Structure 1
Amino acid sequence: MNKQNPHTESLKGKIDWSTAVIPFVLIAFLCISFMAAPDGSRQILDKIRVLLGDTFGLYYLVIGLGVFLLSIYLAFSRYGSIRLGGPNEKPKYSDFAWSSMMFTAGLAADILFYSFCEWILYANDPHIAEMGSMQIWSSTYPIFHWGPIPWSFYLVLAVAFGFMLHVRGCHKQKYSEACRPILGNRVDKLPGKCIDLLALFALLAGTATTFSLATPLMAQVLSRLTGLPSSKWVTIGILVVTCIIYTYALVHGMKGISRLSAACMYLFFALLAYVLLAGGETRYILETGFSAIGNLAQNFFSLATFTDPQRTTSFPQTWTIFYWAYWMVWCVASPFFIGSISRGRTVKQTILGGYVYSLGGTFLSFLILGNYSLGLQVSGKLDVLGIYGGAGDLYSTIIAIVDTLPLAPMVLVLLIAAMIAFYATSFDSIALVASSYTYKQMTGDEEPHRAVKFFWAVMLILFPIALVFSESSMANLQTVSIIAAFPVALVILLIIASFLKDAGRYLDSSKK
């Protein structure tokens, strides 16, 4: 039961103020720097990004493949039998509620944006020509970049956090606390503080990054539906509406988040079903999708280990390493939330069930929406690549794709509703995790005070609103989130090692 003290003084005493304030001060400093000297700051950040992505790119690729292989090992080894809760405890949420919250918390509206257009970004890349045809590889790479490896980051960390919360009964819901089996009491000192500050900094940078990706599409869709000119104020209006929706759900606790996640899934599958059945490309979508899954299965390890050492195209540096780093930044929030809602499930059920539901939803989105637009291109019904090349704008290209569907305005309404729902459910989980991070102590069954949740719900939206006024600043902050992934990856490895050590001791003691 959530025991919340209504007295303000008591609440103030529970908050770890340094963890809450310092990341915001740092992000604010970066924002001011970006706006005051956008060109100079962008050049500095680009150099750092090139250094990390090009010189140390192998670092990201090795961690990605290693974590995926570890997830399979955990599921089928003795660790898989560990129940995240009491020995005979039943799952806290039904399969549908659990999978809905997990899927929507992990992806945000990025999935709808990229599902329509990611193949376009690869289609004319020299690496695709080296490998074969656009038909085969531009439909395969999207499900690779959003497939088993990135989801393995979430699922392995989710069981580590779930074990910490529901088995060990930890009273600190912080990133650093998961490192205690190895760091010991140093978690309570400077090393632990640095880990928590890094985690919240990465969370804030990742928040601004994901909002910057898809909100311009939502603004153009709304402009198309209403006739209003697309502007910064339309984008800000969408952000405010999204904030109101997720704040309302958040202050109503897990019940509100669960209901919003379910509504999001209904909108999402309604959109996919309509495009599949009414778009006139059903056969092409199904056959290309089936081939893409087979192609991924046959070439998974070669894709995961491709480094382009001669830099003939720099494809992995441009895309694969970018995606692994982007997902690592999101590992600060999403796995913590997934672990918290996985109470009552075993490690094996969490990992394998997570793969089934998450990959099922992700693959359906890319294979239906992506292959619909790819089908328009290869059949000659719409010159998608020509539109993108002429406008240089993915948002206008996506609207042109949707315009080919019957009752296109209705589809646009469904698209923007689904995107708002995805954003709202994702940022519900982020705000909930951020709220928990800022408490000095909190049990796994406790929820943060409503005032703390409201504070984070509002603060998470303020930076994206501020950054709307500077497109170069948004690009810079995207780069910051990728740079943040470099140290976050080290913390991820530390958390995994800590879990293996602590869970091994738990299993050994259970035998006695």
Structure 2
Amino acid sequence: MENQKPKIYTDKVLAITSLSFVFILVAGLAIYSEASIKLAAQMMLWATSIFTTPVLLFAFLSIIFTMMLAFSKYGKIKMGEGKPEYSTTSWIFMFILSGIGSSSLYWGFLDWAYYYQTPGLGLTPESAEALKYSVAYSFFHSGASAWAIYALASVSLCYSFHVRKNKGLSLASIIEAVTGFKATGVVGRLVDVLFLLCMFGALTISLVLTAVTFTNILSLLTGIPNTFTTKVIIILAVSVVFALSSYVGMENGMKRLSSMVCLGVVLFAVYVLIFGPTQFILNNSLMSFGLMATNFVDMSLFTDPMGDGKFTREWTVFYWLWWISYAPGVALFVTRVSKGRTIKEIILAMVVGGSVGLWFVFGVFENFSVYNFIHGAVNVPHILSQQGGEVAIGQLLSLLPAGQFMMWIFLGIMVIFLAAHMDAVGYAVSATCTRGLEEGQDPSPKARLFWCVMLTLVPIAMIFSKAPLDTMKTATIVTALPFIVIILIQTYGLIKWLIEDYSKIPSHLIEQKSFEETESTADHVDYRDAHIEVLKPVELVRENLKREIS
């Protein structure tokens, strides 16, 4: 009986509570739409004004801390025993798709136009200088600081789950491990309810925006009316793919979907690069990267005290809070797929791999869009303001060779992208509501399928009720504020554990130990007892060192 595995069960109280909050929120937005819009505007102004400096500092210090950690001796610590479960390419693809939604394809063509019309760093709107910095700001908001926030949340949870062997794959479980507040207690449940609300809100926004873009482009191609029914059919079709992927599991589902969509996006970008204005795309991408790199500190800490601070509030602070809202879910998913990886690998793969991937795709798509704006082919800012971004995307894609065919390819990639992203979010949600998970264990297929259905119903309800999407966006952003405190608590726990477990071990012995565990898992290291300074394998290493010295 002692060797019997602990019982894994669904936390029904947490599931029912969070779902009740979600559907009450959607109903409230539908019934009191005008009042909710006004309240949302006030809440957004409050959140982004009062917390401007803390949010900017949090993002800026995240990149400094994660880079220092990666290149310290602690970066050599391996998460769990044995070799990595997934190839490096599949691994990076999976967590990139967990961290960005299909709506990034939408913003990939249009993001620069917003910064051209409302630029940062005190630049004049719609000026040559604003256009020059437009893609650079897009690179900044999708680059190192954003991915460092993900990495900061991920490494601490990975360490807790794989090295310390703390049970449970949820925010509440790591809060319990650090603070002692029970995961099933009031504090633990509050943390998980906030997380689930944030995940539902963020995914709903991504799903609705993708559905609207998809149906508009589909209407341009086929003449099918852009109605509620069309949107529901699209959402249901995506959900079937997502549900099947989630049900069959990580290896046959998410891994294959992520590989398909990432390869599809890269090939699509390569097509645009080759058959678009290649020289302009390459030149402006390089210049934009240079502008971002040389102005990185200014962009990171631009509070605009001499002005109205509107750009910082509405763009940089908003974006960082948006990334923070996704960070806990990404951390759960990254923890699941990162067994056998070192801290350095996780940080560099996220910060460098994630940034470079988005910079390549955004660089190609945005500069293709900028080029056609400069040469008068498509007035993207005007169309964006008057008709909607999906119309501008349709006109841009039609300029490519085999334009209509490429629009169909674009829609196909968008659907698979959304399904893969929903799969990652669905896993994080089902893992949060499953108690007692240990390393190598997943929520049951039935639990994952249940949450697939729930994650689909909310956006359909939003579209049907015509509830204001911007209000849901505000709710998600405001809910993200407590996650800053939660991530800081996680980070405190990580630093504390690293000092307790590895501060007295030389760098080369940490690397040697990680290498030996990769070659063989025979000597299992158990870190469950936080009061034991260093465990048997480490003690053996010390004895060997003493012998060598003597």
| TM-score bin (small chain) | over 0.9
Residue of structure 1 aligned with 2:14, choices 16, 19, 27: 19
Please name the residue that 2:384 is paired with. 388
Moved more, 253-262 or 375-384: 375-384
Distance in 1 of aligned mates of 2:93 and 2:230 = 29
How far did residue 164 of structure 1 move? 1.7
Q: CA deviation at 1:487?
A: 1.1
Q: What amino acid maps onto 1:112 in structure 2?
A: L
Decide whether the 8 Å contact of 2:26 with 2:467 is kept in 1: no
Q: Identify the match of residue 468 of structure 1 among 463, 466, 473.
A: 463
Q: Is the 8 A contact 1:71 1:155 kept in 2?
A: yes
> Residue 428 of structure 1 corresponds to which residue in structure 2?
423
Measured in 2, the distance between the counterparts of 1:219 and 1:327 equals: 27
Give the letter for the 1:422 counterpart: F
Say whether 1:344 aligns with 2:340.
Answer: yes
Correspondence for 1:124: 117
Residues 129-168 of structure 1 show CA distances to partners (whole Å, capped at 9, x for unaligned) of 2796133211101111111111111112221121122112
Q: How far off its partner does 1:311 sit?
A: 3.5
Q: 1:301 aligns with which of 294, 297, 307?
A: 297
Q: Which residue of 1 aligns with 2:244?
A: 248
Q: Secondary structure at the match of 2:124?
A: helix
Are 1:410 and 2:405 matched, yes or no?
Answer: yes
Look up the match of 1:151.
147
**Contact map agreement 2:144 2:352 (CA 8 A) in 1:** no
1:81-130 deviations in Å (ceiling 9; x for gaps): 110012xx222111111011111111121211111001111112254427
Moved more, 198-207 or 316-325: 198-207
1:100 aligns to 2:107 (yes or no): no
2:78 aligned counterpart, secondary structure: coil
| Contact 1:67–1:152 (CA under 8 A) maintained in structure 2 | yes
State how far apart, in whole Å, the 1-side matches of 2:475 and 2:298 are: 29
On the 8 A contact 1:75/1:348 being kept in 2, the answer is yes
Q: 2:370 aligns with which of 359, 369, 374?
A: 374
The residue that corresponds to 1:486 in the other structure is 481
Please provide the CA RMSD for this pair.
2.0
**Matching residue of 2:528:** none
CA drift of 1:312 comes to 3.5
Q: Distance in 1 between matches of 2:128 and 2:188?
A: 48
In the aligned structure 2, how far is the partner of 1:313 from the partner of 1:334? 30
> Aligned-pair distance for 1:238?
1.1
Question: Which residue identity lines up with residue 144 of structure 1 in the other structure?
Answer: F
Is 1:268 paired with 2:261?
no
TM value normalised by structure 1? 0.94
SS of match in other structure, 1:140: helix
Q: CA deviation at 1:379?
A: 2.3
Q: Cα distance 1:166–1:313, how it changes in 2: closer, same or farther (>3 A)? A: closer
Tell me which of 49, 74, 83 is aligned to 1:79: 74
Q: Distance in 2 between matches of 1:363 and 1:56?
A: 28
Alpha-carbon displacement from aligned partner over 1:314-358 (angstroms, at most 9, x marks no partner): 101010111001111111211211122111111011111222321
Task: Pick one of 317, 326, 329 that aligns with 2:325.
Answer: 329
| Paired position in structure 1 for 2:41 | 46
CA shift in 2, pair 1:188/1:390, >3 Å: closer
The alpha-carbon deviation at position 306 of structure 1 amounts to: 0.3
Q: Which moved more, 1:255-264 or 1:281-290?
A: 255-264
CA distance in 2: counterparts of 1:482 and 1:388, whole angstroms: 23
Taking structure 1 as reference, are residues 389 and 437 closer, same or farther at Cα in structure 2, changes over 3 Å only?
Answer: closer
Distance 2:137 2:287 in 1: 12
Aligned pair partner of 1:290 in 283, 286, 291: 286
Post-superposition offset of 1:290: 0.4
Residue 273 (structure 1) shift: 1.0
Structure 2 counterpart of 1:136, from 125, 132, 138: 132
1:448-459 equivalences under 5 Å are: 448-459=443-454
1: CA distance, partners of 2:358 / 2:466? 29
> In the alignment, which of 232, 246, 263 is matched to residue 228 of structure 2?
232
Q: Which amino acid aligns with 1:39?
A: E
SS at match of 1:290: helix
Displacement of 1:506 after TM fit?
Answer: 1.8
Aligned to 2:313: 317
Code of the aligned partner of 1:321: V
Q: What are the Cα deviations for residues 454-491 of structure 1, in whole angstroms up to 9, with x where unaligned?
A: 00011011100110124443221111101111112111
1:115 equivalent in alignment to 2:108: yes
Unmatched 5+ residue regions in structure 2?
Answer: 504-532, 540-550
C-alpha separation between the residues in 2 aligned to 1:190 and 1:313?
Answer: 38
CA displacement 1:404-457 (0-9 Å, x = unmatched): 111111111111111111111111111111111111211121111111010001
2:204 to 184, 203, 208: 208
Q: Which moved more, 1:287-296 or 1:195-204?
A: 195-204
| Structure-1 residue corresponding to 2:511 | none
Q: Which deviates more from structure 2 when the two are superposed, residues 298-307 or residues 23-32?
A: 23-32
Separation (CA, whole Å) in 2 of partners of 1:427 and 1:484: 20
CA–CA separation in structure 2 for the residues paired with 1:307 and 1:224? 42
SS of residue in 2 equivalent to 1:266? helix
DSSP 3-state at the match of 1:427: helix
In 2, distance between residues paired with 1:387 and 1:41?
28
Secondary structure of the residue aligned to 1:446 is coil
1:369-402 Cα distance to aligned partner (Å, 9 max, x none): 00000011112233223333442x1111111111
For the Cα contact (< 8 Å) 2:181–2:187, is it kept in 1? no
CA contact (8 A) 1:45 1:480 kept: yes
TM-score, L = length of structure 2:
0.87
CA offset at residue 187 of structure 1? 4.2
Shift in Å, 1:313: 5.5
Query: For residue 398 of structure 1, what is the aligned residue in structure 2?
Result: 393
3-state secondary structure, aligned to 1:469:
helix
Mapped partners of 1:181, 1:170: distance in 2: 7
Over 6 Å off, 4+ runs: none
Using the TM superposition, name which of 377-386 and 72-81 deviates more: 377-386
CA distance in 2, matches of 1:120, 1:126: 9
Paired residues of 2:169 and 2:437 also in contact (CA < 8 A): yes
Name the structure 2 match of 1:502. 497
Secondary structure of 1:332's aligned partner: helix
Q: How many residues are treated as equivalent by the alignment? A: 500
Contact 2:119 2:134 in 1 (8 A): no
Is the alpha carbon distance of 1:136 and 1:217 closer, same or farther for their aligned partners in structure 2, counting shifts above 3 Å?
same
Q: Is the 8 A contact 2:110 2:380 kept in 1?
A: no
Residue 62 of structure 1 is matched in structure 2 by 57
